[in-house]
Chains A and B, each alone.
Chain A
Amino acid sequence: MKNATLNLRDLVILVADPSPYMCMLANSMLRGFGANKAMDARSSIDAIQILTEQKIDILLCDNLLPPHGGLKLTQAIRRNVNNPNRTVPILIMTSDTRESTIKSARDAGANMVVAKPMSPSSLYDRLSWIAFNPRNFVDAPTYFGPDRRFKIEGFPTGVGRRQGDKAIEVSDETGPTLAQDDIDNLFNSSRVG
């Protein structure tokens, strides 16, 4: 995978962030990666409107996107059975890297989380991860989104699990903040047991 290439040309990318400058920065990075069709949304309302009007290939969404927040937006996208973008890959951008927040993003149906401030390499690697690590979707009464079952490797305090996954204590604590590697581990799709 390290030698794989990404071709973002003609992909429709929606960057949803309240900061015009942050959008500009994200778009600059995406242009550098070869993207030529990036759009902006400054609020969850704008984003929903765009998502209902046209097909998007990937959504980059700020965790604090007003007024509803990026995670509520993610849930809204996943729960709407009539939304043509229901399975669109969603990458949450956040500077709040507390374990509880990352788990909430995963449980809302996000594909991956990238920590802010973003660097080109951190964004590229997350996009690459989504591209080359496809996961099944789960449609359950309380959840619709990428399969959240994962193998825990190198993450000391434990994370949420399902029956059949490796037994491990689940921490109720909200801290400490996680490094990007720990965040990635939370989204690792490999199963155990």
Chain B
Amino acid sequence: MSNSNGAREFPVETDFQKKVRRAGGVTRNQAVGDAEAQIETLKEEFTDWLKDGLTRLQTAIQLAETYPDNAVLIEDAFRSSCELRDIGTTVGYELVTFVANRLCEVLDAMRNGADYDEVLIRCHLDALQLARQDIYKNVSPDQVPDLCDGLRRAAEHSISMAGRIGK
């Protein structure tokens, strides 16, 4: 079937759709429960991974500080921060995700023209070191409003500076 714009529309039944409906599948409750159990086994490794992830981020930040005009280095730091953000909550470290998300916003502002703000970056790295400690392991952002509000204000300031630059 095609129309006057040259567009053609046709049905597609992919192998995924055919196979996934076969008999012998698992129910949502069972699948989610089994997946959570699988993730639980990874949580033990997460402490080590988090330490490595932070080291990678710090290295990327140090390089970005040394060469603040190098967009590739800022990009590397941004990606390292994204990695921490994307994984934190999944393995139960909600505060790590929150702080890393704020750092992503700061670094994204820098990618878009804001000046490199060493104090602001250090403040987020310190907060991440805090968030990865055992005593903050099961702490949600709601439970530490002062820390979260401070980081939020700092990130908003950085973003507004980028906006003023207009890049």
Contacts and interface: CB of A to CB of B under 8 A. Distances in A.
Interface of A: 2-11, 18-19, 21-22, 24-25, 28-34, 55, 57-58, 64, 66, 87-89, 95, 116-121, 123-125, 127-128, 130-132, 134-141, 143, 147
B8 A25 contact: no
Contact of A21 (B12, B23, B83, B89): B83
A131 B10 contact: no
Given A11-B20, A95-B82, A147-B9, A25 B91 contact: yes
Contacts of B28: 2, 6, 121, 124-125, 128
Which 6 pairs across A and B sit closest by C-beta, in order of nearness?
A32-B35, A5-B25, A7-B25, A120-B35, A140-B7, A32-B34
Interface residues of B, number: 50
A1 to B, nearest CB: 10
Given A118-B90, A120-B31, A140 B5 contact: yes
B98 to A, nearest CB: 11
B8 A21 contact: no
A58 B36 contact: no
Interface string B20-62: 1111111110011111111101100010010001000000000
A131 B32 contact: no
